[in-house]
Structure 1
Amino acid sequence: MSAIATPPTPGPASYPRPLAHRWTVTEFNRMGDMGWFEGKRAFLLDGVIMEQGPMDPPHATGLALADAALRAIFGAGWLLRIQSPLHVDAYNDPLPDLALVQNGPRDYLGGHPTTAALVVEVPDTTLRSDLTDKAERYATAGIADYWVLDVAGRDLHVFRDPQPLPTGLGAAAYRTHLTLAPTDRVAPLAAPAASVLVSDLLP
């Protein structure tokens, strides 16, 4: 007796998945002009609009200490921007906690900076993202010096030497990642002769 092949039972219809819209910096800025983010700390990461939560006291203190330490090092010809836009590419405006850029405030009336000599993030609940997603974005943008001040862990992550990832990925990564203790000292690449004690950056 030969078996009769039973046709397979048809499954549910297969429909293509809807695609999420990838916002550009231009669209993001237009929404900001329309008041969409009023009272919020929003930023754009890889075309996705993100919102930061309220700033807790340790975060605010670490940010203020890092700001004071860097202002003591860098004088005329440098500008330290606090939680201001940094348009690293068409889909990323990561709103770093601190960004050290050249020139003065009026030089950016026509547009936000697209690069920085140093970027510092002081995470509270965003440590993982700052060490991975944002690190990749900053490396791809060619930011040579990227610091993540981990207030809760009481250390400083220093990322340097951005290198392209394999061809086709369209991204880069930092070759050097140092984790410094409170007793260590660090000098910005833009001022190698001036160092600061990591503990002076921590609350």
Structure 2
Amino acid sequence: MQNSETTLQLRLWTVEDYHRMAEAGIFGAEERVELLEGKIIWMVAKGTAHRSAVGRTDYLIKNKLGERAWVSIQDPIRLNERSEPEPDIAVVKIDQLDYADHHPTPSEVYLVIEVADSSLKLDCEIKAKAYSQAGISDYWVLDVVSRQLYVFREPSPEGYQSRSILAEDKAIAPLHFPDVEILVLEMLPPVISNL
């Protein structure tokens, strides 16, 4: 009896393959992609609430941390040889060369924040697992639709062992900067009344 189920053999890409494709012009200038677990993922178009939340969070964290860390927006971090996502915000160690010779790696990352308007499932499941397996100790997903913050901590190969959801009126401190209190509301776009 023939097995009707077929197993597909996928070709998983390395970070080096991905860089060579970009250098060869395989991706158009307007195309936004990232490499996650060996797969090239199309990045979802960003809405105005997403853009506002990224800008507000970037400004807030830079002001609160000052010269204690480097804050990058939608720049690559290299998790391993098959994953190089571009998180909305990454708080990383200061590098004297400003990362001119490499992208930040997990040992250089303090905090990763993804902003979700239409990407909540991707951010809370697939990306969370990739960040956890890489050892990112503090991962947040700011949900601009439900106006709450998902906090993932205690990474393991199976996924984060600690997960919590904070309402917009709650505060949190990054693991590596316990003296820095951030209100979830400060990261979210303002609510616009139609009155």
Tell me the TM-score normalised to structure 2 length: 0.89
Partner of 1:145: 138
- Give the 3-state SS of the residue equivalent to 1:117 in structure 2: strand
Aligned to 2:36: 45
* Structure 1 residue corresponding to 2:104, chosen from 98, 113, 120: 113
- CA–CA distance in 1 between the matches of 2:151 and 2:8? 39
User: Which is helix-richer, 1 or 2?
Assistant: 2
Contact persistence 1:79–1:105 (CA under 8 A): no
Other-structure match for 1:32: 22
Q: Give the aligned partner of residue 187 of structure 1.
A: 173
Determine the C-alpha separation between the residues in 1 that align with 2:19 and 2:155: 28
Over 3 Å counting, the alpha-carbon distance change for 1:128 and 1:76 in structure 2 is same
For structure 2, the 5+ residue unaligned runs are 190-195
Deviation at 1:77, TM superposition (A): 4.2
Q: Post-superposition, which runs of at least 4 consecutive aligned residues in structure 1 deviate over 6 A?
A: 13-16
Please list every run of 5 or more consecutive structure 1 residues that lacks an aligned counterpart in the other structure: 1-9, 164-170
2:61 to 70, 77, 101: 70
Q: What is the number of residues matched between the two proteins?
A: 186
Aligned partner of 2:77 in structure 1 is: 86
The structure whose Rg is larger is: 1
2:75 counterpart SS class: coil
Identity %: 35
Query: Is 1:161 aligned with 2:154?
Result: yes
The CA deviation string for residues 88-124 of structure 1, in whole angstroms up to 9 with x for no partner, is 0011111111111111472411111112100000022
The Cα RMSD (Å) is 1.9
Q: Which residue of 1 aligns with 2:192?
A: none
* Contact 2:44-2:119 at 8 Å conserved across structures: no
